[in-house]
Structure 1
Amino acid sequence: MKPLTVKNLTVITAGNLVQGSEETLIQHGAYRLKQVKKTNTALFTSKRIVNWKSLEPLYPLVLVTDWSYSHNEIPRQIITIKVTNADEAYWKFVNFYRDQFNIPVVTITGTSGKTTTKEMIKHILSAEKKVSATTLSSNSRTASLQYLLSIDEETEAAVFETAVGSPGDVTKAGKYFKPTIGIITNIGAHHLNYCKTLEGYIQAKGEMLDIIHPKGTLIINAEDKNTKKIDFSRFPGNIIKIGKHESCDFRAINIRYHNNGMLFTIIHNNKSFEVFVPGFGEHQVYNALEAIAAVYEIGITIPMAAKQLQSFRHLNKQLQLFEGINHSVLIDDTWSITTTSLEAALKVLQALGKDKKKIAVIGTITDLGSWGYIIHEQAGELIHQIGVDVLVTIGEHARIMADHAVDLGLSSPVYTFKNSLLAYKLLQDIVDENTILLVKGDMYSKQVSNLATDLKRKQGLPPE
């Protein structure tokens, strides 16, 4: 954080310094008591603090409050700024802080690929610039302030990921980050327990158009069917399209698998460039296109971006390859699961599994609410369309996709289990050196995630 004095903060918030030195430096910010971890923190809160004793190790502490404390209730060591409305004071501070920095800020949303795209952009920019960024996929509402305050005088660019758990999440993130560049990676079906309908989810993702600077840039996957449903006419800035179609501004052709990643040719402004990106799957090419388009807007040339991408480190549990039990090939894709990422994983399984027995182990798709049955049926359609040699599902809801795939005509052997122990015992019997095995789930499904770990052993025993 770029430090500021209590005097500065008092002016910014239109507050009144009740007690303490106006020259004290503020080096951290918080809007919840539990977020106060260090000295010299400004805490914005309307709640009454009772346990002052626990805060003593964190002095000096600056309290920005609209609570009417009684005389001498606040310890003299607490620097206190009284404001009319603590929430309004907080947003005055946030707006002031963000507006101090005239730097490119990239904000990313989407159903799949946001963390990977964000990490690619960070990796490319870090070769020449000091970059602030969200940590892996930590993109909760409560983390936004700390990410904003990670920007300081030395920061030359920032890239932040924002998820959609509920409508308004992207809008709220925009109030913090005020992006100059926004990216929508793709829109599948997710978080329908809060967004209620797919249309509501698409609308929530479309909030990205409202938070980008009016003269900024929006980057979209021009071939994503749900992204196309957004009304882009309300966005006054520049729209960049990525994809395989010749109408795209950043176009990928000649896509092929190569060693531990993907090779492709990128066409931009009638010029072509060869690019290698670590990580398997055509979806990884789209991630790379979005990242290259973003850094190009910031001033990084395509050859420089391509050179940096070669050393990009693929993320854990995202289509990672291992030697599995009985000398098989194991694909661990247990970071997250949506129908979008399931389709990508199944296509990778098909591409890497030529002349091998292809087994897919799939867990439940979460955060669907009343849409659970329909979305799991859609997953079953994907399995039927793309195909596997053996299908194994784990969990009651995952069985819906198996049953639907069979109803549609999937003739491969299908096994449905309630727990991973029984699945492991089956796999130990049917997996051999001619098998490629995909394990697909998310970080919240410990059974599926732990199964992937157990299957990485060369000579495995059933888990206890």
Structure 2
Amino acid sequence: MKPFSVKHIRTMLAGDLVQGSDDMIVHYGAYRLKQVRNTHTLLFLKKRIVDWKRLKQFFPLVLVTEQFSPIERLEGLTVIKVKDTEEAYWRFVKDYRNLFQIPVVAITGTSGKTTTKEMIRHILSTDKKIAYTNSSNNSRTAHLHYLLSIDEDTEAAVFETAVGSPGDIINAGRYFKPTIGIITNIGAHHLNYCKTIEGYIRAKGEMAAALHQKGVLIINADDPNSRKLDLTNYNGRIIKVGTHSSYDYTASDIVFCTDGMRFTVHYKQQTYPMFVPGVGEHQVYNALAALAAVHEMGIHLSDAANQLKTFKNLNKHLQIFEGINGSTILDDTWSMTTTSLEAALNVLKEIGQGKNKIAILGTITDLGSWGYIIHEQAGELIAQIGVDVLITIGEHARIMADHVVASGLNTRVYTFNNSILVMDLLKKIVDEHTIVLIKGDMYSKAIIDLAVKLRKNK
């Protein structure tokens, strides 16, 4: 955070100093008690504070509030009284963001958000100081922390903006005010709050509003649901990436390699050979979005290509390991959606040619009343792409297995309520001619532990 004096903040918020010194310098910001972890923190709090004993360890502290009484006068506590705490908070957020005229990228999508963000960060970090979201931690409560990570030395920022419910991206836009927005793809997720697929598409489409009808919006034009976005009232630029020659950034000659993907990017009648670590055509789409974003920020595509080839693929994102009994393991235990499942199954099919292909799949979460339908659709994907052995873990995952059996696919199917007996089965059926995809989400500890056990060198 750029340091500010109390006097500067008080003037910014049109507040009154009722206790403490105008000369104190603030280095951190918070709007919840549990977010106070350092001294010299600016805390916005609407309610009265009771647990002063816990906060004393973080004094000196600056409190912005509309409620304060003399009984709360404590040494080391500076108080700025405002008419409305929430209004003062958003004024501070707005004014702080407006201090920095830098490119800010906001990324949303059902899958690929973290990978695309990390690609952009990797490419830009060669000669720029970048602010960015940590791993996939993109919750609403982290927005202020990430905003305040921008300071005078920051040259660009890239943030994930996830959708848990409608309004999330608009809320994130109030903090970050992105100049470039990316929608990687739109599958089926968070239907417990978005209610319908159409509602989820609209929630992702909030990225246009987050850009304030200006700036640059990058979309995967090959993605069927992204093509359903209503962008008729969006006045900014739209950049399309994909495999069709009419798009702004086009990928062709896509080839699977041992540890990544080779392809050619076409941009304005120029061609650029590319290599990106991480297997799967979905990785090419992630790279296209990242390349379009950094190119908009002034990075030449040739320079971006040189940096992209040194990108390190993320943990649990289709990582390849040597497994038990000489088998090959594809660890994809980071997330579980129909979009990422389709990508993973296609990778299994491509690099598993000539081998016995086994898929171990967990439950898709955050679906609400759509749970049965989406798991049936996942079963349809499995039936279409095909595997030799399907193992499901969990009650809802069994729906996928039942659909595959009903489809008549010549697949051996095993269903388990938990992972306890799965290892015993695998020891019997895997060998050096076997490739195993294991897929769940980051909250499925049992599946993550099973993935580790399947590696030869844990």
Query: TM-score surpassing 0.5?
Result: yes
State the distance in 1 between where 2:283 and 2:233 align. 29
Structure 2: distance between partners of 1:328 and 1:408: 28
- Indicate the RMSD between aligned Cα atoms, in angstroms: 1.0
1:281-430 maps to which residues of 2 (within 5 A)? 281-430=280-429
Alpha-carbon deviation of 1:204? Answer: 0.6
Deviation at 1:52, TM superposition (A): 1.5
- Identity among equivalent positions (%) equals 63
**Counterpart residue number, 1:446:** 445
1:175-228 deviation digits (Å, cap 9, x = unpaired):
000000000000000000111111111111010000114431000000111111
Name the SS of the counterpart of 1:453 in structure 2.
Answer: helix
What SS class does the counterpart of residue 55 from structure 1 fall into? helix
Q: What is the distance in 2 between the residues matched to 1:323 and 1:382?
A: 26
CA separation in 2, counterparts of 1:411 and 1:239?
A: 44
Q: Distance in 1 between matches of 2:51 and 2:126?
A: 46
C-alpha separation between the residues in 2 aligned to 1:180 and 1:213?
Answer: 9
SS of the residue 2:404 aligns to: helix
Aligned residue number for residue 19 of structure 2 = 19
Partners of 1:330 and 1:406 in 2: how far apart?
Answer: 24
How far 1:158 sits from its partner (Å)? Answer: 0.2
Distance 1:2 1:354 in 2: 55
Tell me which moved more, 222-231 or 279-288.
Answer: 222-231
Amino acid at match of 2:370: W
Secondary structure at the counterpart of residue 256 of structure 2: strand
Partner residue, 1:36: 36
**Per-residue deviation at 1:441?**
0.5
**CA displacement, residues 2-30 of structure 1 (integer Å, 9 cap, x when unaligned):** 11111111111111110111111111000
| Equivalent position amino acid for 2:54 in 1 | S
- Whole-angstrom distance in 2 between the partners of 1:356 and 1:50: 64
Q: Which moved more, 1:280-289 or 1:56-65?
A: 56-65
Partner of 1:10 in structure 2?
A: 10
State the one-letter code of the partner of 1:307: N
More displaced, 210-219 or 391-400? 210-219
Question: Is the contact between residue 144 and residue 176 of structure 1 (CA under 8 Å) also seen in structure 2?
Answer: yes
Question: 1:72 deviation in Å?
Answer: 3.1
Q: Equivalents in 2 of 1:415, 1:24: separation in Å?
A: 65
What residue number does 1:48 align with? 48
Which amino acid is 2:412 matched to?
P
Partner Cα distance (1:74, 1:207) in 2: 44
Match of 1:135 in 2: 134
Question: Which amino acid in 1 is paired with 2:430?
Answer: V
Q: Displacement of 1:125 after TM fit?
A: 0.3
| Mapping for residues 108-187 of structure 1, pairs under 5 Å | 108-187=107-186
Deviation sequence 1:41-94 (CA, Å, 0-9, x none) = 000011111122222221110000011x33232314210001111111000000
Residue aligning to 1:75: 74
Amino acid at match of 1:44: F
Partner Cα distance (1:15, 1:441) in 2: 50
Bigger shift: residues 51-60 or 10-19? 51-60
Structure 1: distance between partners of 2:92 and 2:173: 15
Q: Which amino acid aligns with 1:230?
A: L
Q: Deviations over 1:99-157 (max 9, x none)?
A: 00000000000000000000000000001211000001000000000000000000000
Residues 130-139 or 212-221, more deviating: 212-221
Answer whether contact 1:130 1:154 (CA < 8 A) is retained: yes
Name the SS for the 2:232 alignment partner.
helix
Cα distance, 1:321 vs structure 2: 0.3
Per the TM alignment, residue 421 of structure 1 is displaced from its structure 2 partner at its CA by 1.4
Which amino acid in 2 is paired with 1:454?
Answer: K
Tell me the number of residue pairs that the alignment of Structure 1 and Structure 2 aligns: 458
- The range that moved more, 74-83 or 160-169, is 74-83
Q: Structure 1: how far apart are the matches of 2:65 and 2:210? A: 28
**SS of residue in 2 equivalent to 1:326:** helix
Query: Offset at 1:405?
Result: 1.4
Cα distance between partner residues in 2 of 1:430 and 1:55: 58
Deviations 1:269-318 (CA, angstroms, capped at 9, x unpaired): 00001000000000000000000000000000000101001110100000
CA distance in 1, matches of 2:440, 2:73: 50
- The 3-state SS of whatever aligns with 1:103 is coil
CA contact (8 A) 2:214 2:234 kept: no
What amino acid maps onto 1:70 in structure 2? S
Query: Separation in 2 of the partners of 1:331 and 1:74?
Result: 59
C-alpha separation between the residues in 2 aligned to 1:182 and 1:204? Answer: 14
Q: For residue 203 of structure 1, what is the aligned residue in structure 2?
A: 202
What's the TM-score once normalised by structure 2's chain length?
A: 0.99
Contact 1:123 1:308 in 2 (8 A): yes
SS at match of 1:102: coil
- Distance of 2:52 and 2:365 partners within structure 1: 41
Distance 1:214 1:228 in 2: 18
Instruction: Tell which deviates more after alignment, 303-312 or 206-215.
Output: 206-215
For residue 193 of structure 1, what is the aligned residue in structure 2?
Answer: 192
Q: Which amino acid aligns with 1:18?
A: V
CA distance in 2: counterparts of 1:196 and 1:189, whole angstroms: 11
> d(CA) in 1 for partners of 2:239 and 2:98?
25
| Residue identity in the other structure for 2:3 | P
Output the CA distance in 1 between the equivalents of 2:439 and 2:310: 26
Secondary structure of the structure 2 residue equivalent to 1:420: coil
Q: Tell me how far 1:259 sits from its aligned partner.
A: 2.3
Alpha-carbon distance in 2 for matches of 1:170, 1:441: 25
Q: In structure 2, what residue type is equivalent to 1:225?
A: P
> Are the aligned partners of 1:19 and 1:76 in contact in 2 as well (CA < 8 Å)?
no
Cα deviation, 1:358-392, whole Å, max 9, x if unaligned, reads 00000000000100000000000000000001111
Instruction: Could you list the structure 1 runs, at least 4 aligned residues long, displaced by more than 2 angstroms after superposition.
Output: 69-74
Amino acid at match of 2:105: V
Number of the residue aligned with 1:94 = 93
With 72-81 and 294-303 compared, the bigger mean Cα shift is at 72-81
Task: Give the structure-1-normalised TM-score.
Answer: 0.97
Amino acid at match of 1:302: L
CA contact (8 A) 2:19 2:73 kept: no
